[in-house]
Amino acid sequence: MSIRIRAVLKPEYTDVRVLVSHPMETGLRRDDAGKLVPLHFIQTLVLRLNGQVLIQSQLSQAVSRNPVFAFRLRQAKVGDKIELAWTDNQGASGRADALVSAN
């Protein structure tokens, strides 16, 4: 599973967009054999700016597959480090970072 982050400085804020590749199974879907596909979703999501936690959230199975998250930050500058980390209900985790760019 991968994470792609884009952080672009705008005149009044920094636009951060994150794409997380994850199946996000609700536990309600059935496979081709008719068996329920087990629940598998991102539980926690943490966004940091230069190591400082800005957003810490808990998610549920109601989020779609390969979710896109968008944030607007006011205090970020060009060259600042944005980091996103997640953990799912099966113990898997992912982490990625990117630098804020001018455009």
pLDDT at residue 1 in the model: 73
How high is the mean pLDDT in each 10-residue block of the chain (103 residues)? 94 97 94 95 97 96 94 96 97 97 90
For residue 74, give both structure tokens.
Answer: 């006011």
CA-CA distance, 20 to 28, in Å (whole number)?
A: 21
Q: If we measure between CA atoms, which residue out of 39, 43, 38, 41 comes closest to residue 59?
A: 43
Q: Calculate the alpha carbon distances from 66 to 16, 25, 102 in Å.
A: 16, 10, 27
Pick the CATH number of 3-99 from 3.40.50.720, 3.40.50.620, 2.60.40.10, 3.40.50.150: 2.60.40.10
Record the pTM. Answer: 0.90
Domain limits, the chain: 3-99
CA-CA distance, 79 to 66, in Å (whole number)?
A: 27
CB-based contacts of 68, cutoff 8 Å, min separation 6: 17, 18, 19, 20
Could you tell me if 14 and 7 are in contact, meaning their C-beta atoms sit under 8 angstroms apart?
A: yes
